Protein backbone atom coordinates (compact mmCIF):
# COMPACT_ATOMS: atom_id res chain seq x y z
CA UNK A 1 0.00 0.00 0.00
CA UNK A 2 1.27 3.49 -0.84
CA UNK A 3 1.73 6.03 1.91
CA UNK A 4 -0.06 9.35 1.79
CA UNK A 5 -3.31 10.18 0.03
CA UNK A 6 -4.70 7.67 -2.51
CA UNK A 7 -2.84 8.06 -5.81
CA UNK A 8 -2.71 8.31 -8.79
CA UNK A 9 -5.72 10.53 -9.33
CA UNK A 10 -6.54 8.76 -12.61
CA UNK A 11 -7.96 5.87 -10.58
CA UNK A 12 -10.61 8.12 -9.09
CA UNK A 13 -11.91 10.23 -11.99
CA UNK A 14 -14.90 9.07 -14.05
CA UNK A 15 -14.08 6.59 -16.84
CA UNK A 16 -15.23 8.98 -19.58
CA UNK A 17 -12.75 11.69 -18.48
CA UNK A 18 -9.66 9.51 -18.76
CA UNK A 19 -8.84 9.98 -22.44
CA UNK A 20 -9.45 13.72 -22.54
CA UNK A 21 -7.04 15.19 -19.97
CA UNK A 22 -5.54 18.38 -21.41
CA UNK A 23 -7.76 18.50 -24.49
CA UNK A 24 -10.41 20.94 -23.29
CA UNK A 25 -10.94 24.10 -25.34
CA UNK A 26 -13.99 25.90 -24.04
CA UNK A 27 -16.86 25.88 -21.61
CA UNK A 28 -20.33 27.36 -21.57
CA UNK A 29 -22.68 28.01 -18.66
CA UNK A 30 -26.00 26.46 -19.66
CA UNK A 31 -27.91 27.52 -16.56
CA UNK A 32 -26.90 28.35 -12.98
CA UNK A 33 -24.94 25.35 -11.74
CA UNK A 34 -24.59 23.47 -15.03
CA UNK A 35 -21.58 23.93 -17.30
CA UNK A 36 -20.82 22.27 -20.62
CA UNK A 37 -17.14 21.53 -21.36
CA UNK A 38 -16.00 20.97 -24.93
CA UNK A 39 -12.88 19.06 -25.90
CA UNK A 40 -10.87 19.20 -29.14
CA UNK A 41 -11.89 15.57 -29.64
CA UNK A 42 -15.49 16.80 -29.98
CA UNK A 43 -16.43 15.23 -26.69
CA UNK A 44 -18.74 17.14 -24.35
CA UNK A 45 -19.16 16.62 -20.62
CA UNK A 46 -21.36 18.47 -18.15
CA UNK A 47 -20.55 19.46 -14.63
CA UNK A 48 -23.25 20.19 -12.15
CA UNK A 49 -22.84 21.92 -8.86
CA UNK A 50 -25.01 21.65 -5.78
CA UNK A 51 -24.81 23.80 -2.66
CA UNK A 52 -23.27 22.34 0.46
CA UNK A 53 -24.55 22.88 3.98
CA UNK A 54 -22.74 25.94 5.40
CA UNK A 55 -20.19 24.00 7.42
CA UNK A 56 -20.29 20.96 5.12
CA UNK A 57 -21.63 18.55 7.75
CA UNK A 58 -23.64 15.63 6.42
CA UNK A 59 -25.26 12.66 8.03
CA UNK A 60 -24.07 9.31 6.76
CA UNK A 61 -27.58 8.73 5.35
CA UNK A 62 -27.15 11.73 3.08
CA UNK A 63 -23.61 10.68 2.14
CA UNK A 64 -24.91 7.27 1.07
CA UNK A 65 -27.65 8.90 -1.01
CA UNK A 66 -25.08 11.16 -2.67
CA UNK A 67 -22.91 8.15 -3.36
CA UNK A 68 -25.92 6.41 -4.98
CA UNK A 69 -26.59 9.45 -7.17
CA UNK A 70 -22.96 9.50 -8.25
CA UNK A 71 -23.20 5.80 -9.16
CA UNK A 72 -26.39 6.33 -11.12
CA UNK A 73 -25.45 9.46 -13.07
CA UNK A 74 -21.84 10.53 -12.73
CA UNK A 75 -19.54 7.57 -13.39
CA UNK A 76 -19.55 6.47 -9.73
CA UNK A 77 -17.50 9.43 -8.61
CA UNK A 78 -18.00 13.01 -7.52
CA UNK A 79 -15.83 15.79 -6.23
CA UNK A 80 -15.89 18.58 -3.71
CA UNK A 81 -15.07 22.00 -5.12
CA UNK A 82 -12.80 24.73 -3.78
CA UNK A 83 -15.74 26.35 -1.99
CA UNK A 84 -16.86 23.04 -0.46
CA UNK A 85 -19.80 22.54 -2.83
CA UNK A 86 -20.57 19.20 -4.47
CA UNK A 87 -19.76 18.73 -8.13
CA UNK A 88 -20.93 15.88 -10.34
CA UNK A 89 -19.56 15.31 -13.84
CA UNK A 90 -21.81 13.56 -16.33
CA UNK A 91 -21.41 12.64 -19.98
CA UNK A 92 -25.01 13.29 -21.07
CA UNK A 93 -27.08 16.45 -20.66
CA UNK A 94 -30.39 14.67 -19.94
CA UNK A 95 -28.69 12.76 -17.11
CA UNK A 96 -27.61 16.10 -15.68
CA UNK A 97 -31.20 17.32 -15.68
CA UNK A 98 -32.38 14.17 -13.90
CA UNK A 99 -29.56 14.48 -11.40
CA UNK A 100 -30.52 18.09 -10.74
CA UNK A 101 -34.09 17.06 -9.95
CA UNK A 102 -32.97 14.32 -7.57
CA UNK A 103 -30.52 16.59 -5.77
CA UNK A 104 -33.14 19.28 -5.32
CA UNK A 105 -35.49 16.66 -3.87
CA UNK A 106 -32.74 15.82 -1.38
CA UNK A 107 -32.65 19.50 -0.41
CA UNK A 108 -29.49 20.57 -2.21
CA UNK A 109 -30.22 23.37 -4.71
CA UNK A 110 -28.19 23.39 -7.91
CA UNK A 111 -26.70 26.74 -8.84
CA UNK A 112 -23.76 29.08 -8.74
CA UNK A 113 -21.20 29.89 -11.45
CA UNK A 114 -21.44 32.95 -13.65
CA UNK A 115 -23.00 36.07 -12.21
CA UNK A 116 -24.56 34.38 -9.23
CA UNK A 117 -23.92 33.59 -5.61
CA UNK A 118 -21.24 30.87 -5.71
CA UNK A 119 -21.01 29.68 -2.18
CA UNK A 120 -21.75 30.33 1.47
CA UNK A 121 -19.06 28.72 3.59
CA UNK A 122 -18.27 28.67 7.25
CA UNK A 123 -15.82 27.12 9.69
CA UNK A 124 -16.86 24.89 12.57
CA UNK A 125 -17.83 27.61 15.04
CA UNK A 126 -19.46 26.51 18.29
CA UNK A 127 -20.31 23.29 16.46
CA UNK A 128 -16.88 21.72 16.88
CA UNK A 129 -14.21 24.31 17.61
CA UNK A 130 -12.72 25.55 20.86
CA UNK A 131 -11.73 29.06 19.86
CA UNK A 132 -14.72 30.63 18.17
CA UNK A 133 -15.98 34.06 19.08
CA UNK A 134 -19.11 33.76 17.01
CA UNK A 135 -21.14 30.80 15.85
CA UNK A 136 -20.28 30.85 12.18
CA UNK A 137 -22.51 28.00 10.90
CA UNK A 138 -25.74 29.55 12.16
CA UNK A 139 -24.76 32.97 10.74
CA UNK A 140 -23.91 31.33 7.40
CA UNK A 141 -27.15 29.35 7.50
CA UNK A 142 -29.11 32.54 7.90
CA UNK A 143 -27.18 34.30 5.12
CA UNK A 144 -27.71 31.30 2.83
CA UNK A 145 -31.45 31.38 3.49
CA UNK A 146 -31.58 35.08 2.70
CA UNK A 147 -29.42 34.99 -0.43
CA UNK A 148 -30.64 31.70 -1.94
CA UNK A 149 -32.49 33.51 -4.74
CA UNK A 150 -29.16 34.70 -6.12
CA UNK A 151 -27.82 31.15 -6.17
CA UNK A 152 -30.03 29.67 -8.86
CA UNK A 153 -32.40 32.34 -10.05
CA UNK A 154 -31.69 36.08 -9.77
CA UNK A 155 -28.64 37.49 -11.51
CA UNK A 156 -26.03 39.69 -9.83
CA UNK A 157 -23.50 42.06 -11.46
CA UNK A 158 -20.76 39.44 -11.02
CA UNK A 159 -19.62 36.53 -8.92
CA UNK A 160 -20.43 36.68 -5.20
CA UNK A 161 -18.90 34.53 -2.49
CA UNK A 162 -19.89 34.75 1.15
CA UNK A 163 -17.87 33.31 3.98
CA UNK A 164 -18.18 33.27 7.76
CA UNK A 165 -15.38 32.56 10.23
CA UNK A 166 -15.81 32.11 13.94
CA UNK A 167 -12.60 33.82 15.00
CA UNK A 168 -9.81 35.97 13.55
CA UNK A 169 -7.99 32.83 12.41
CA UNK A 170 -10.32 32.95 9.38
CA UNK A 171 -10.50 29.20 8.90
CA UNK A 172 -13.63 29.80 6.83
CA UNK A 173 -11.30 31.41 4.32
CA UNK A 174 -13.20 34.58 4.85
CA UNK A 175 -10.74 37.29 3.92
CA UNK A 176 -10.86 36.13 0.31
CA UNK A 177 -14.63 36.19 0.03
CA UNK A 178 -16.50 39.12 -1.49
CA UNK A 179 -18.43 39.45 1.74
CA UNK A 180 -17.08 37.95 4.91
CA UNK A 181 -18.14 37.87 8.51
CA UNK A 182 -15.34 37.30 11.01
CA UNK A 183 -15.75 36.53 14.67
CA UNK A 184 -13.76 38.80 16.96
CA UNK A 185 -13.00 38.90 20.66
CA UNK A 186 -13.16 42.36 22.13
CA UNK A 187 -12.04 41.84 25.70
CA UNK A 188 -8.61 41.41 27.20
CA UNK A 189 -8.17 37.78 28.33
CA UNK A 190 -7.59 37.03 32.01
CA UNK A 191 -4.79 34.96 33.48
CA UNK A 192 -6.11 32.29 35.87
CA UNK A 193 -4.03 30.26 38.37
CA UNK A 194 -4.21 27.34 35.88
CA UNK A 195 -1.62 29.17 33.79
CA UNK A 196 1.04 27.25 35.75
CA UNK A 197 0.31 24.17 33.63
CA UNK A 198 1.30 25.97 30.42
CA UNK A 199 4.57 26.67 28.70
CA UNK A 200 4.85 30.27 29.94
CA UNK A 201 7.62 31.39 27.62
CA UNK A 202 5.88 29.84 24.62
CA UNK A 203 2.56 31.42 25.51
CA UNK A 204 4.14 34.85 25.94
CA UNK A 205 5.75 34.43 22.53
CA UNK A 206 2.42 33.84 20.79
CA UNK A 207 1.41 37.44 21.44
CA UNK A 208 1.77 39.44 18.21
CA UNK A 209 2.03 42.78 20.02
CA UNK A 210 4.24 41.73 22.93
CA UNK A 211 1.53 42.40 25.51
CA UNK A 212 2.29 39.32 27.60
CA UNK A 213 5.07 39.48 30.18
CA UNK A 214 6.52 36.92 32.53
CA UNK A 215 6.09 38.03 36.15
CA UNK A 216 7.18 36.53 39.47
CA UNK A 217 4.44 35.77 42.01
CA UNK A 218 4.82 36.45 45.79
CA UNK A 219 5.19 32.66 46.26
CA UNK A 220 8.35 32.69 44.19
CA UNK A 221 6.74 31.12 41.14
CA UNK A 222 6.24 32.65 37.74
CA UNK A 223 3.06 33.75 36.06
CA UNK A 224 2.00 35.82 33.09
CA UNK A 225 0.69 39.35 32.97
CA UNK A 226 -1.27 40.81 30.08
CA UNK A 227 -0.81 44.53 29.52
CA UNK A 228 -4.30 45.92 29.03
CA UNK A 229 -3.38 48.87 26.85
CA UNK A 230 -1.48 46.78 24.31
CA UNK A 231 -3.80 43.79 23.92
CA UNK A 232 -5.63 43.61 20.58
CA UNK A 233 -7.85 40.69 21.61
CA UNK A 234 -6.62 38.24 18.97
CA UNK A 235 -7.12 35.24 21.25
CA UNK A 236 -3.90 33.48 20.22
CA UNK A 237 -2.76 33.11 23.85
CA UNK A 238 -6.15 31.67 24.80
CA UNK A 239 -5.67 29.03 22.11
CA UNK A 240 -2.14 28.28 23.25
CA UNK A 241 -2.82 27.99 26.99
CA UNK A 242 -5.89 26.70 28.80
CA UNK A 243 -5.01 28.90 31.79
CA UNK A 244 -5.81 32.12 29.95
CA UNK A 245 -9.51 32.68 29.30
CA UNK A 246 -12.01 35.21 28.08
CA UNK A 247 -14.17 35.96 31.09
CA UNK A 248 -17.48 37.01 29.60
CA UNK A 249 -17.59 36.12 25.91
CA UNK A 250 -21.41 36.29 25.93
CA UNK A 251 -21.12 40.05 26.41
CA UNK A 252 -18.02 40.91 24.45
CA UNK A 253 -17.72 38.46 21.54
CA UNK A 254 -19.14 39.38 18.19
CA UNK A 255 -18.17 39.73 14.58
CA UNK A 256 -17.08 42.25 11.99
CA UNK A 257 -18.06 42.46 8.34
CA UNK A 258 -15.41 42.80 5.64
CA UNK A 259 -16.01 43.18 1.92
CA UNK A 260 -14.05 43.19 -1.30
CA UNK A 261 -11.83 40.12 -1.04
CA UNK A 262 -10.78 38.23 -4.16
CA UNK A 263 -8.08 35.74 -5.06
CA UNK A 264 -6.21 36.02 -8.30
CA UNK A 265 -2.63 35.97 -9.51
CA UNK A 266 -3.49 38.08 -12.54
CA UNK A 267 -3.62 41.85 -12.92
CA UNK A 268 -3.61 43.62 -9.57
CA UNK A 269 -3.58 40.31 -7.76
CA UNK A 270 -5.19 39.12 -4.59
CA UNK A 271 -7.22 41.56 -2.53
CA UNK A 272 -8.03 40.90 1.09
CA UNK A 273 -11.37 41.87 2.56
CA UNK A 274 -11.60 45.29 4.19
CA UNK A 275 -13.55 45.82 7.35
CA UNK A 276 -16.58 48.07 6.84
CA UNK A 277 -18.46 47.24 10.02
CA UNK A 278 -16.08 46.76 12.95
CA UNK A 279 -18.40 45.12 15.46
CA UNK A 280 -21.81 43.50 15.69
CA UNK A 281 -22.94 41.38 18.64
CA UNK A 282 -23.88 37.69 18.53
CA UNK A 283 -27.64 37.51 18.27
CA UNK A 284 -28.64 33.93 17.58
CA UNK A 285 -30.77 32.65 15.99
CA UNK A 286 -31.76 35.53 13.69
CA UNK A 287 -28.69 37.79 13.62
CA UNK A 288 -30.95 40.58 12.35
CA UNK A 289 -28.32 43.30 12.21
CA UNK A 290 -25.67 41.12 10.55
CA UNK A 291 -28.00 39.69 7.95
CA UNK A 292 -29.57 43.08 7.33
CA UNK A 293 -26.19 44.71 6.80
CA UNK A 294 -25.05 42.00 4.35
CA UNK A 295 -28.31 42.26 2.41
CA UNK A 296 -27.93 46.02 2.26
CA UNK A 297 -24.41 45.69 0.85
CA UNK A 298 -25.57 43.17 -1.76
CA UNK A 299 -28.56 45.32 -2.75
CA UNK A 300 -26.48 48.48 -3.11
CA UNK A 301 -23.83 46.64 -5.11
CA UNK A 302 -26.47 45.06 -7.33
CA UNK A 303 -28.02 48.42 -8.08
CA UNK A 304 -24.83 50.38 -8.49
CA UNK A 305 -22.21 48.15 -10.09
CA UNK A 306 -21.58 47.71 -13.79
CA UNK A 307 -21.93 44.26 -15.28
CA UNK A 308 -18.93 42.11 -14.48
CA UNK A 309 -17.79 44.15 -11.51
CA UNK A 310 -17.10 42.15 -8.40
CA UNK A 311 -17.42 44.00 -5.10
CA UNK A 312 -13.65 44.65 -5.05
CA UNK A 313 -13.80 46.20 -8.55
CA UNK A 314 -16.86 48.23 -7.68
CA UNK A 315 -15.18 49.70 -4.58
CA UNK A 316 -12.08 50.33 -6.67
CA UNK A 317 -14.15 52.43 -9.08
CA UNK A 318 -16.34 54.41 -6.69
CA UNK A 319 -14.03 54.71 -3.66
CA UNK A 320 -14.86 54.23 0.00
CA UNK A 321 -16.49 57.60 0.52
CA UNK A 322 -19.14 56.81 -2.08
CA UNK A 323 -19.56 53.32 -0.65
CA UNK A 324 -20.53 54.67 2.75
CA UNK A 325 -22.70 57.32 1.13
CA UNK A 326 -24.61 54.84 -1.00
CA UNK A 327 -25.10 52.15 1.61
CA UNK A 328 -25.94 54.73 4.26
CA UNK A 329 -23.62 53.05 6.77
CA UNK A 330 -21.72 55.43 9.02
CA UNK A 331 -17.93 55.31 8.83
CA UNK A 332 -16.26 54.19 12.03
CA UNK A 333 -12.70 55.05 12.95
CA UNK A 334 -12.23 51.37 13.87
CA UNK A 335 -12.13 50.67 10.13
CA UNK A 336 -8.82 52.50 9.85
CA UNK A 337 -5.38 50.94 9.85
CA UNK A 338 -3.61 51.02 13.17
CA UNK A 339 -0.01 51.10 14.24
CA UNK A 340 1.34 48.18 16.17
CA UNK A 341 3.62 48.45 19.17
CA UNK A 342 6.78 49.01 17.12
CA UNK A 343 5.16 51.78 15.13
CA UNK A 344 4.94 49.65 11.99
CA UNK A 345 1.77 50.10 10.02
CA UNK A 346 0.14 46.71 9.68
CA UNK A 347 -0.98 47.09 6.13
CA UNK A 348 -3.23 44.57 4.51
CA UNK A 349 -0.65 43.17 2.13
CA UNK A 350 1.95 42.90 4.85
CA UNK A 351 4.16 45.49 3.19
CA UNK A 352 4.71 47.15 6.55
CA UNK A 353 8.45 47.10 6.13
Partner 1 sequence: MSEPPEEVRKGREILSEVRKGPWPNFLREADHTRYPIDLYGASLYLKRDLWTTGGYVSVPGAPTGILMRVTSRPDIGESANVVRVLLPSGNFVTSDMLDTLADFADKYGVGMLHAITTGHNVEIPGIPKDRIREFVSAFKDAGMEIGSTGDAFRNATACIGQVLCEYANTDTLDVRDKFYDRYNDYAKYPTFPHKVKLKISGCPLDCARATQKADIGIVGSWKDAPLVDKEKIKELPAESVEDIIRSCPTGAIRASDGSVSISSKDCTQCMICLRKGNGAITPGKRKQFLIYVGGKLRGKKGPLSSKLLARVDSIGDAMDLMDRIVEVFTDHAARKERLGDLIFRIGMKGFLDLMKMKPAALNVKDLRTNLFYAVNEDDRQRIPEEIGKIVRGE
Stretch 123-152 residues interacting with partner 1 (CB under 8 A): 123, 126-132, 135, 137-138, 141-142, 144-145, 148
Q: Identify which of residues 121 and 327 has a Cβ nearer to partner 1 in the complex.
A: 121
Q: What are phi and psi of 342, to 5 degrees?
A: -90, 5
Task: Find, among 270, 255, 256, 351, the residue nearest to 310 by Cα.
Answer: 270
Instruction: Give residues with Cβ within 8 angstroms of 250, minimum separation 6.
Output: 282
Can residue 330 be called a binding residue for partner 1 (CB under 8 A)?
Answer: no
The least distance separating partner 1 from the CB of residue 221, rounded to whole angstroms, comes to 22
What's the chain's length in residues?
353
- Give the per-residue SS3 of 106-159: HCCCECCCCCCEEEEEECCHHHCCCCCCCCHHHHHHHHHHHHHHHHHCCCCCCC
**Residues of span 154-173 touching partner 1 by CB under 8 A:** 168-173
Q: Identify which of residues 160 and 327 has a Cβ nearer to partner 1 in the complex.
A: 160
Q: Are 164 and 145 in contact (CB under 8 A)?
A: no
Q: Residues 281-320 vs partner 1: string with x where CB under 8 A?
A: -x-xxx----------------------------------
The least distance separating partner 1 from the CB of residue 70, rounded to whole angstroms, comes to 5
Radius of gyration of the chain from its Cα atoms, rounded to whole angstroms: 24
The least distance separating partner 1 from the CB of residue 202, rounded to whole angstroms, comes to 7
Q: Identify which of residues 32 and 54 has a Cβ nearer to partner 1 in the complex.
A: 54
Q: Are 65 and 57 in contact (CB under 8 A)?
A: no
The least distance separating partner 1 from the CB of residue 166, rounded to whole angstroms, comes to 8
Q: Identify which of residues 80 and 332 has a Cβ nearer to partner 1 in the complex.
A: 80
The least distance separating partner 1 from the CB of residue 332, rounded to whole angstroms, comes to 19
By rule CB under 8 A, what count of residues binds partner 1?
A: 112
Can residue 181 be called a binding residue for partner 1 (CB under 8 A)?
Answer: no
Q: Residues 221-250 vs partner 1: string with x where CB under 8 A?
A: -------------x-x--xx-x------xx
Q: What are phi and psi of 252, to 5 degrees?
A: -105, -20
Residue from 33, 48, 49, 84 touching partner 1 (CB under 8 A): that is 84
Q: What is the spatial distance between Cα 160 and Cα 302, in angstroms, rounded to a whole number?
A: 11
Q: What is the DSSP secondary structure assignment for residue 345, as one 8-state letter?
A: B
Can residue 11 be called a binding residue for partner 1 (CB under 8 A)?
Answer: yes
The least distance separating partner 1 from the CB of residue 109, rounded to whole angstroms, comes to 7
DSSP secondary structure, 175-195, as one string:
GGSSEEEEEE--S--EE-GGG
**Residues of span 56-75 touching partner 1 by CB under 8 A:** 56-64, 66-68, 70-71
Amino acid sequence: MIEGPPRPYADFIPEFLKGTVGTWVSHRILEPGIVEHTSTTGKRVYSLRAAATPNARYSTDTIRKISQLARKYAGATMRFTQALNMEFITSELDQTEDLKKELELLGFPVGGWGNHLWSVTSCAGYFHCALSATDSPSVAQKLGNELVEYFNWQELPAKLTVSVSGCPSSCGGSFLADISVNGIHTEVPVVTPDVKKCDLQGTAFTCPVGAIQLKPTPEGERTLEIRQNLCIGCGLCVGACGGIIFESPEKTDGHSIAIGGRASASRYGTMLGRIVIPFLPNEPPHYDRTVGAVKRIVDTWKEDAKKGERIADWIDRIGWEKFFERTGFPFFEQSMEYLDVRGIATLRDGSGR
